[in-house]
Amino acid sequence: MDPNGRYLAGVAHDDFDRARRKAFLSEVGAFLGRRPNDLLSFEQVQQALPMHSQIYRGIQQVPVAAINGSVDRYQDFDRNFLPTQTHTRPRWEAIDRATLALEALPPVQLYKVSDLYFVKDGNHRVSVARERGQEMIDAEVIECPTNVPISADTDTTGLLHLTEYARFLEQTGLDKARPGVSIRFSTLGRFDTLLEHISAHRWYMGIDQHREISWLDAVCDWYDHVYSPLVQVIEETGILGDFAGHTAADLYLWIMDYRYYLEQNTGQQLGPATAVLSYDAEYGRWTRRVARRLNRLMAQAAKPLVVSTDRLLRALGALRPGAD
């Protein structure tokens, strides 16, 4: 090997060692931060989301940072395409040496799903490009259209959520009837409850209109006149801040249950805005409940309120997060 070749080989060797150290630190950081660090598997995504066609998009430049998955090498690299296995060293270093020598490399082959890319061929080339801070890479792209968006931070649990959402959209046709629709839950199994809401709404529509209501008509009417108005109030009032980690769809289900409870037990019927604000006042931030209880104590007092320290502590203790 000529001196320049030995030099490039030494640099590539050091580059791989540095990339492996970064991969180790990235894994530790992901573990401590409880965030996904594995590459997405194209096969798992393909099983989770409906993909009915493939469209050849030709050769184009693709942002390296948008490549977050692989067809068959998702265990050899982490989410940042750092090498996680020592057996990748020979191929990785060969690509790195070619890059250092300014040799022309063939385009990588990618599948595109939503805004993410999965490597069909060229995993090592993507890894070296990312390690060297390269922003764009030449790629031959095949797009796989899907009606369910997928993001870079999606993990295995996220794929289960997307599977449920995809099934819901197929059963309702809501994404075609109302393009741009987006419904997210923080827990699994909630889309089945939405289907029950739509079925009940269809039944009531049939009674009111004295005719058979088509499934799609019921879906659209439920979305336009039940779901959307309530979610709009939830978003406009900003009460999501009182329910950290949850979504507007979560609150929709809870508030609908709350409205039904009031109707059955008190005969009280609430409009969307009143229902949202009433639910937030009842189950929102625990500090609000403290203030509400103290206000009741003050209202009950016929003279200036004198609250003992012990009583105040008991009131606060009973309302702390997680208390019965």
- 80 occurs within a structural domain: yes
Q: Same domain for 129 and 162?
A: no
Cβ pair 166, 114 in contact under 8 A? no
Contacts of range 209-214, beta carbons closer than 8 Å, 24 or more positions apart: none
Residue 249 has pLDDT above 90, yes or no: yes
* Residue 55 host element (H or E): strand 55-63
Enter the DSSP assignment of 47: H
Looking at the fold, whether 112 and 169 belong to one and the same domain comes out as: no
pLDDT tens digit sequence for 58-75: 999 999 999 989 998 889
- For residues 23 and 117, membership in a common domain is answered with yes
Q: What is the pLDDT of residue 82?
A: 94
**pLDDT per residue over 219-239, tens digit each?**
999 999 999 999 999 998 888
Residue-wise pLDDT tens digits, 121-133: 999 999 999 999 9
Task: Please report, for residues 46, 89, 156, 165, the alpha-carbon distance to residue 71 in angstroms, rounded to integers and kept in the order given.
Answer: 10, 20, 16, 23
* Helix (H), strand (E) at residue 42: helix 42-48
Residues 162 and 277 in one domain: yes
Is the domain of 23 the same as that of 89?
A: yes
What does DSSP assign to residue 224? I
Task: Please enumerate in sequence order all residues whose Cβ is within 8 A of that of 37, keeping only pairs 6 or more positions apart, or say none.
Answer: 26, 27, 30, 31, 78, 79
> Which 3 state secondary structure label does DSSP give 77?
strand
User: What pTM was computed for the model?
Assistant: 0.67
Task: Please indicate, yes or no, whether residues 126 and 163 belong to a single structural domain of this protein.
Answer: no
Residues 267 and 179 in one domain: yes
In the chain, the number of structural domains is 3
Tell me: do 169 and 48 sit in the same domain.
no
Tokens representing 151 are 């993001």
pLDDT at 289: 52
The pLDDT score that the predictor gives to residue 323 is 47
Return the exposure string of 98-109: e unless at least 16 CB atoms fall within 10 Å of the residue's CB, then b: bbbeeeeeebbb
- Up-side HSE of residue 45: CA atoms within 13 Å toward CB? 29
Strands 108-113 and 67-70: unpaired
**What are the tens digits of pLDDT across the range 251-305?**
999 999 888 888 887 777 778 888 888 888 788 765 455 555 556 666 665 444 4
Asked if residue 324 is part of any domain, the answer here is no
pLDDT value at position 302?
Answer: 47
3-class secondary structure, 172: helix
CB 80 within 8 A of CB 131: no
Containing structural domain, residue 296 = 286-318
Of residues 165 and 304, the one with the higher pLDDT is 165
In a domain, 323, yes or no: no
Residues 7 and 139 in one domain: yes
How are beta strands 116-121 and 108-113 bridged, if at all?
Answer: antiparallel
Q: Provide the 10 A C-beta neighbour count for residue 168.
A: 19
The 3-state DSSP class for residue 287 equals: helix
**CA 120/CA 54 separation, integer angstroms:** 14
CB atoms within 10 A of CB 255: 23
The C-alpha atoms of residue 152 and residue 2 are separated, in whole angstroms, by 43
| Beta bridge partner(s), residue 124 | none
Question: What is the 3-state secondary structure of 263-295?
Answer: HHHHCCCCCHHHHHHHHHHHHCCHHHHHHHHHH
Last residue of a domain, one of 143, 165, 198: 143
The b-or-e profile of 259-291 (16+ CB within 10 A means b, else e) is: beebeeeeeeebebeebbebbbeebbbbeebbe
Q: Does 150 map to a domain?
A: no
